[in-house]
Chains A and B, each alone.
Chain A
Amino acid sequence: MLITCPFCGLRDAAEFTYRGDAAPVRPAADAGEAAFFDYVYLRDNPAGPIREHWFHRAGCHGWVTVTRDTRTHAIESVVPVEATVAAEAVVAAEAAVAVEAEGGAR
């Protein structure tokens, strides 16, 4: 399997360490045991695209988010993990703005 590291280019998957599903987000410190239990143990097992965290151990030491199809192993995209976080933050911020705007309209 080959992974295109956003920093280093096309590299063999053996240079990377797999961590797992990128979807779970670490709960706030006061979110309670149930939230942390979900975060640590519960995973979806989709037959199709999944976002995963990989570590370029034998390369740039960057954590990257790989979007991979579990049925074919085809890799759709590889982006720096910061970009994923940033994009999520943007989505969240936009949603917050939208909610505010909606609230304001009321």
Chain B
Amino acid sequence: MSGYRLSAGGTLVDPATRLSFRFDDKAYQGLAGDSLASALLAGGVSLFGRSFKYHRRRGLFAAGPEEPNALVELRGGARREPNLKAPVVELYDGLEAWSQNRWPSLTFDLMAVNGLLDKLFVAGFYYKTFKWPSSFWEKLYEPLIRRAAGLGRLSGEPDPDSYETATAHADLLVVGSGPAGLLAARTAARAGRRVILVERDARLGGSLLTTRRTIDGQPGAAWAAAVEAELAAAPHVRILRRTTVFGTYDGGQFGALERVADHLPVPPPHCPRQRAWTLVAGEAIVAAGAIERPIVFPGNDLPGVMLAGALRHYAVGYGAAAGRAVTLFTANDSGWHAAADLIASGVTVAAVIDPRADVAPALTAAVAAGSGRALAGARLRRALGGKALEAIDVDLPGGGSDRIATDALGVSGNWQPDIQLATHRGDRPVWSDAHAAFTAGKLPPGIRLAGAAAGTFRLADIFAAGGTEAAVDLEGAALTPFWHVGGSKGAGKAFVDFQHDVTDADVALAAREGYVSVEHLKRYTTLGMATDQGRTANLNGLAILAELTGRTIPQTGITTMRPPVEPVAIGALAGHHRAMAFRPRRLPPIHMVAVEREAQMIEVGPWWRAQWFPLPHETDWQQSVDREVTTVRKAVGVCDMSTLGKIEVFGPDAAAFLTRLCANSVMKLAVGRCAYFLMLREDGYAYDDGTVARLGPERFVMTCSTAHAAKVYEQVEYARQVLFPEMDVVVQSATEQWAQLALAGPRARDVLARIVDPGFDLSGAAFPPVACAETTVLGGVRARLFRLTFSGELAFEIAVPARRGADLMRRLLIAGQDFGIVPYGTEAVGAMRIEKGHPVGSEINGQTSAHMLGLGAFAERKHDCIGRVLAARPYLTDPARGRLVGLKPVDRAARLRAGAHLLPKGPDATAAHDQGWITSVAHSPTLGCWIGLGFLAHGDKRHAEIVRAYDPVRGGDVEVEVVAPCFVDPEGNRARA
């Protein structure tokens, strides 16, 4: 194969503008408008890559994304992108690309020895070979396979480019801008409809650009340009170029990928590299064309064997001839049209071989006139060559055979309509004998096919279907199904799937071993599972399987086609949602105070919260957290609790409603008092906990955990609207409306007294534990006060309207200065709640029951509440399932780790002896050692027992003492101070 540039030029390239590029570090020149494939072809390159399994030499095969062989890595450094198909890579000046899957070089590939081991590398090779011994899998087989089978390499660096997502709406979406797509878009645009026209390539026109068709006497490309100009001027038409519609989804939605800047070396400033579109359309016309099916014959993977349509595409579109003496092997009329176009472009066509004896004379005439041999009724037997195609053996019509020298062979079985987008919603394709291909059966609502995708191959028919007429040049679309030239001994391998090296013999072996379903064939041989998704392979594979199993093709069936039609980068789907913008980050009202004090921040659910507030001299987080805890226990501290979910419940039935929601009764809660509550799921497991305050006879506010806030609110609304609609109650989420600060420590009352407006009595008698009240602070700021404690100290929670939250925090820090007040973060909150044995998400993790938490009495109620009935099941109440305990290391210097398993002392550390696990740990500055909470079988009866905390993952094995799950002030005197 020795490609060259034709003097006639091509419809897509500009001969005046030369571009320099490098392939495998060698310099080449191309023309503006070239694809990487056409530039390399014109530059005389025949070897584009190595096959996946045997590392065989492979050349360019197709002209679109169905390309199985010519995969490249594009760009260097952080922008390196693997597995791109050379035909769809647009050339730019300075482009750098590398071939893949070869070592050390493309021309000399050591892995090609695999080809000599082909007896081993048969269908099901992986399943048969890498089975035993199992210990070899991780150590030997997997690394070996990964090294040998690697396609391209990723850069391993963060992608420096940006991506975005967008949505667009239209009355009509037209996929494809070939003649059928252009006609559809023009008709709709003239009717004043909103149209989105999507074209995969840079230019509109589809097949009209790369064939020598004429429409009403003018070149097809000129007709396309005229329609394009009309569409561009129409008011409601959006044209998306370089865009692939990759999937059809519910509700008239389509996914599309626009390659905004892939044709440029680097995206311009503020321009995304790719854009993932959601297109929402009332109707869609899919005019995606057809994919040419090759024929399977011995030697069909030699560089130089290509699709006939691809030869034509490169010659007419790019002025790139694939060889000096071209031959074609076709079983349908399009191969003859390709030959005529090649001759008209200045390519020497040596012969056209067609197994059909009755080819229309008008078709053969052009070949004969160009001094090529028109061999109707002949059959190609095999292709021969060393590094590339050199000759073909042909069985002649009258008997006898001939060897014809050729360096490029175009093959055309027939054309498979591209119906993928019509099948993504589960509609099965149907076999058409007339087309020898699968066509769309029942279409999803709102989707129609047009042009070649609808099986309409003749231009005149496309115009007629579009409601208009046009005079076109000679065209035939006759075909006889022809799939496979059987190999004979020594004739060479005949490939069905080039990229995955699946031969006709592999299909036969799979059939012999019983893999006669197409889905099994696919998985056993990996046919059609490569990056080209078997676009040129699947139909031949199942035709051969049908032949071997004595079934028809429709009986054999076709594998399911799923989105995406072409590979889509995850980064494009993610758009801007990466790194800090991965998801929206919610900032609590006191955020600026945390920033001023240079707090260490942490993500808690959707919130960004202060984890601790380091002082300048502190070098270690433990130092800061221990100081915060100690200060709260000895003096006073203030902490932001604004992120807790807050749900207000109003109405005559509010108390009864909350009593149905909570495991403990809220019915008798007095006005001006708060209570701890536990919510169960209907299956009886603990769901969430929090506090509920009764602000008035018919007015409650409940808090729930930060991470569960949204789900608990949803559940409360479900209870109100669906479960108990008869109750007269209104529910409102108020999480964002209120800032809420916890002020805790022995001096908390003294500090609070300085900011509460005069007239409010904070004394223990007037405002005792669990009291709540509405009042004002800071000179008239509306506030809610709650005497609630999470730390176990004398504590208050103060809620003010969210916009006053930062001000309140600053004023408290000033007011408490002489008491040594500190702001404290989530780590200190966590340490103190473990010291007090309060459960949080680590304990209420969806697998624990009220009984396990030591709250069994809550679940044993007489009156109805969500979860009451199933919470009484034996499995949920069984003490052997574990009870919440506190844990202290026997060696006070030892560290505990959450996740460690609890085992009795003595027996082996095996799962059979597992008795529980540690849920949370913290270093307690109050006790001067690590402490933990956990669930232990019969734990509430085992206080003072020594058990093992066994942690094989991190090499931990510590003896721990079982204690009550409250380490500090178990009598609660501090909170009552």
Residues of A within 8 A of B (CB): 1-2, 13, 17, 19, 26, 29, 31-33, 36-37, 39-41, 53, 55, 57, 61-63, 71-74, 81-82, 85
A81 adjacent to B722 (CB under 8 Å)? yes
B725 sits at the interface (CB 8 A): yes
Q: Please, which residue of chain A has its CB at the minimum distance from the CB of B725? A: A85
A37 to B683, CA, bound (A): 8
Given A17-B714, A63-B718, 11 other A-B contacts at CB below 8 A? A2-B252, A2-B253, A2-B280, A29-B863, A33-B870, A39-B682, A40-B682, A41-B683, A55-B718, A82-B721, A82-B725
Q: Please, which residue of chain A has its CB at the minimum distance from the CB of B863? A: A29
B682 adjacent to A55 (CB under 8 Å)? no
A73 to B533, CA, bound (A): 27
A71 to B426, CA, bound (A): 9
Given A33-B869, A57-B714: A1 touches B682 (CB 8 Å cut-off):
no
User: Nearest Cβ distance between residue B853 and chain A, in whole angstroms?
Assistant: 20
User: Nearest Cβ distance between residue A68 and chain B, in whole angstroms?
Assistant: 10
Set of chain B residues within 8 Å of A33, measured between Cβ atoms: 869-870, 872-873
Interface residues of B in 856-903 (CB under 8 A from A): 863-864, 868-870, 872-873
A40 adjacent to B250 (CB under 8 Å)? no
Partner of A72, one of B425, B714, B725: B425
User: Nearest Cβ distance between residue B601 and chain A, in whole angstroms?
Assistant: 26
B471 sits at the interface (CB 8 A): no
User: Nearest Cβ distance between residue A61 and chain B, in whole angstroms?
Assistant: 6
B283 sits at the interface (CB 8 A): no
B723 sits at the interface (CB 8 A): yes
B249 sits at the interface (CB 8 A): yes
User: Nearest Cβ distance between residue B67 and chain A, in whole angstroms?
Assistant: 34
Interface of A is mostly: mixed
Interface residues of B in 720-737 (CB under 8 A from A): 721-723, 725
B250 adjacent to A73 (CB under 8 Å)? yes
Partner of A36, one of B249, B280, B682, B863: B682
Q: List 28 A-B contacts (CB under 8 A).
A: A1-B250, A1-B251, A1-B253, A2-B280, A13-B250, A13-B251, A26-B723, A29-B868, A29-B869, A31-B869, A33-B870, A36-B870, A40-B683, A40-B870, A41-B683, A57-B710, A62-B721, A63-B717, A63-B722, A71-B426, A72-B425, A73-B250, A73-B425, A74-B445, A81-B721, A81-B725, A82-B725, A85-B725
User: Nearest Cβ distance between residue B141 and chain A, in whole angstroms?
Assistant: 40
The number of A-B residue pairs with CB atoms under 8 Å apart is 61
User: Nearest Cβ distance between residue B575 and chain A, in whole angstroms?
Assistant: 14
Set of chain B residues within 8 Å of A41, measured between Cβ atoms: 683
Interface residues of B in 500-554 (CB under 8 A from A): none
Set of chain A residues within 8 Å of B864, measured between Cβ atoms: 29
A17 to B721, CA, bound (A): 15
Given A1-B250, A29-B863: A36 touches B869 (CB 8 Å cut-off):
yes
A19 to B710, CA, bound (A): 14
User: Nearest Cβ distance between residue A85 and chain B, in whole angstroms?
Assistant: 5
A32 adjacent to B725 (CB under 8 Å)? no
A39 to B870, CA, bound (A): 11
A63 adjacent to B249 (CB under 8 Å)? no
Q: Please, which residue of chain A has its CB at the minimum distance from the CB of B865? A: A29
A53 to B879, CA, bound (A): 36
A73 to B251, CA, bound (A): 9
A41 to B873, CA, bound (A): 14
Chain B, 674-698, contact with A by CB distance < 8 Å: what is the 0/1 string? Answer: 0000000011000000000000000
List 6 A-B pairs, minimum CB-CB distance, nearest first: A29-B864, A2-B251, A1-B250, A36-B869, A73-B250, A63-B721
User: Nearest Cβ distance between residue A2 and chain B, in whole angstroms?
Assistant: 4
Chain B, 437-480, contact with A by CB distance < 8 Å: what is the 0/1 string? Answer: 00000000100000000000000000000000000000000000
